[in-house]
A and B are shown apart, each in its own frame.
Chain A
Amino acid sequence: MKGPAAWLSWLLTLLPLAPTAAAQGDARRSGLEFMTPALQALQRDDTQNPAALWLKDGEQRFSTACNACHTPQDLRGVAARYPAFDSVLGKPVTLTQRFNLCRQRHAKAVPWAAESSELLGLAAYVGSLSRSMPIAPPADPRLAPFQAQGQRLYAQRIGQLDLSCAQCHDSQAGGRLAGSTIPQAHPTGYPIYRLEWQAMGSLQRRLRNCMSGVRAEPYAFGADEFTALELYLMQRAAGMPMDTPAVRP
Chain B
Amino acid sequence: MALSLINAPARVARGQVFEIRASVAHTMESGQRADSEGRLLARDIIRRVECRYGGELVFAADLFPAVAANPYLAFHTVAVASGPISVRWLGDNGFEHSASVAIEVT
The residues of A with any CB-CB pair to B shorter than 8 Å are: 47-48, 50, 52-53, 56-57, 117, 198-199
Contact = CB atoms under 8 A, between A and B. Distances in A.
A48 B70 CA distance: 11
A47 B21 contact: yes
A48 B21 CA distance: 8
Nearest to A57: B3
Nearest to B8: A47
Given A47-B7, A117-B1, A53 B70 contact: yes
Contacts, number: 29
A57 B1 contact: yes
B72 interface: yes
Interface of B: 1, 3-5, 7, 21, 23-25, 27-28, 68-70, 72
Shortest beta-carbon contacts, A-B, top 8: A198-B69, A47-B7, A53-B25, A117-B1, A47-B21, A50-B70, A57-B3, A53-B3
Contacts of A56: 3, 5
16 contacts: A47-B7, A47-B21, A48-B21, A48-B72, A50-B23, A50-B72, A52-B5, A53-B24, A53-B70, A56-B3, A56-B5, A57-B1, A57-B3, A117-B1, A198-B27, A198-B28
Contacts of B21: 47-48
Contact of B68 (A52, A53, A198): A198
- Tell me which of A47, A48, A57 has the highest count of chain B C-beta atoms within 10 A of its own C-beta: A47
Contacts of B24: 53
Given A47-B21, A48-B21, A53 B5 contact: yes
Contacts of B23: 50, 52-53
A52 B7 CA distance: 11
A41 to B, nearest CB: 13
A199 B27 CA distance: 9
Nearest to B21: A47
Contacts of B28: 198
